[in-house]
Structure 1
Amino acid sequence: MKMLIAGTMAALFLGSLKLHAQRSDTLRFHSEAFRSERSVVVHLPEFHRYASAEVRMPVIILLDGQHDWFIDPVLNDIRFLQYTHEVPQAIVVTVPHEDRVRESATDSIAQTGMPLLELLTVELPPLLAPYNPGDLTVLVGHSFTASFALYAYLQAPGAFDAVIALSPLHQVDRSLPLVVERLASDPDRRVLLAVGGADRTKDGSHNSGLVNAVNAADPERAEGRLLFREYPSAGHTSLPIIAFPEMLGTLFMPYALRDSLAPVDDNYQMITAPPPVDAFVRELETSWGFPGTSLPWDLAEINGLLSRLANSGYNEHVTALLRLAIELYPNYFGFHAWLGEALLEHDPDAAQAAFRKALAVLEENEGNDTEHTLIKAELEGMLK
């Protein structure tokens, strides 16, 4: 019989998903905070549709959703940093403004009743509930909305786990000392600040004010939880394009480093034998930790780890991890098919059941293009 999914077909299928297929939903609703009709756009990774309720992806909220020059490159940054395993699969929400200055410029750091804050903290969560969001929420803003993001962190500290503020200036001399004070006692939160070059043709109108405010806030008190970087080559409007990828990658560095189980040599053979299955699974689940929460195991990570184990002949580990993968992503046919292969020699009845499940999941969740027709034919060929 021909081995089906563990080889290049699975890799090609996963690769095509990561590069091409994503979904966006525009949600229109009446905002009590603004007393008007508003909208947000929810961007979902392809893998989201395969996931069970146990897979709770982080949320990244992008303010200034009305500006294509800002949103488009930032969305692409997220997408391709996910492809290179520097950023986890996430639910990304873009929030457009009708009047960004009026909506985001606070009168004071202590101001209450900001409609935008109410929209983000009261109205948005129920809208996102059907997407099964995780505990981690990142708020991203630029210029006025960056200053608002710092205000939002102070006013609703439980709502935002991280803030990426690109060239904030409005009231930063008042907000940053309070941000540092909050971070000093909150080990699970992060605030990342960026500003462009000091030259007037770059980000000169914001650079000196933000640099002075950061220095005056005594950022060492935050014990590394406040990150500030200058980008001399960046102008005010080009800063998001230049700085955001590094800011986001820095925030999620623990995620990027976690896929270190089962290292292999140049011949793709494991360097050392893995621990027993139960211990290996515990080690794997521990690796999902992130400050204050955990980030779910994603399909690309699963595929990579399974292929390393399978290539070195650790079939017991492969079988156990496939069962875990199916709990997390029951709607992805590939894991059911791979499980069938893993069981084929020592439990043919269970293997046949897995192949039948793979075929049913394929027909329910995938299209009828040429690639899926070929996969269906191969699955049918595995059935007795």
Structure 2
Amino acid sequence: MYNFMKKGAFMLLVACLAMGMASCSDDDPDYSNVTPPTVAVTHSISGRVTGVDGEGISATVSMGGTSATTKADGTFVFENVAAGTYTLKAEADGKESKETSVTVSDGDSNNPVWNVALSNKGTAINVEPDGSASGVVTSETLKGNEDGEIEMTLTAPAGAVEAGTQIIVTPIYSTDEVEQAAVRSAVTKAVGSTLLIGTRVSSSNASAELQESVTLEYDVDPEIAETITAQKYVNGQWVDAEYTVGTDGKVTVTVDQFTSYSLLCNATISSSKTSEAVSFSPDSWDNLYGSGDMAVSSASYSYKIGTDISSSGTNKITAYLIEIVARAAGAGVTEATGTYPINVTLPVGTAMSISGQQEVTTLTASALGRSVSGRQYGTVSVITRSWNRQHTGGTD
């Protein structure tokens, strides 16, 4: 009798457990079919404004009807930018302004980065009562690369310029106008088309004209002087300028009108593109087996702005090459922190991750058997991925 009662109690317990499990199964949702959330694609445009020396400066960056003031390190950012093409302009007291065109692609979360170096405004040289003038201007360089300096001496004979005016001498380091026009020009005897240094010669009187030719002497290394050619910008195109090269390496250009002049050398610039991972914090959220909804607001990430040039100027040629790379890709490099907005709710049974890549362009300038390389950091691409418990229905 006891065994029969014991067996009956056991069977009753099994039946109750079965009914309880069936009841729980009926009430419990099928989390394998929960739809993961989709993160809205957002864009930003960021960058850094520096001097030619690579140090961050206080500047204003405008984009359409909006503007941003740089932080102490020269960085700036425009958040929540819609897809499209924008003109950015950087301005700072005592500096030449610069602008560029930036395109934000639709669909992907690409975040362009602009690193820009602003050079000093031109130097004013007073004209003597007899119409003569003379003055020396030295090019700016990256901090620690003073061997890359180029001294420019302007000499105007008597009667060359109207008395009481000023001659403005402005070094040109890297502009699309100079570089592209030099490459396009069909009237050139250049053995190379890379800008070594340029100079804009103008007058405080916009309507003034030179009555006599002026000389502009560049003190460069004799070895690279042998590869130099000079051009001037006339009627919207670059043409040959009259110049001579001395045995001491000094290149003397004849300035016969107020315009821009350039020294081109036979340096070549090559480039290759790669990418490197961008780290996020946090980079994942797991609510596959949670007890309630999980709110996800944003993730912070670190990336780089600028160009990292690891070489040092061991002589004037390598120092010049360092300046060429810096002018083409941006001076200095710094690490910046961004915030990527997510703003989704993860239901129980879902998870999400975020990752990214930053475009890296390696630029190499070569001349006379030497070469210098720099790593230019560009657009940051962000990818978010969510999935459910069965890893189906995921979104990117």
- Give TM-score scaled by structure 2 length: 0.28
More helix by share: 1
| Structure number with higher relative contact order (C-alpha < 8 Å, ≥ 6 residues apart) | 2
Point out the structure with the larger strand share. 2
Q: TM-score, normalised by structure 1?
A: 0.28
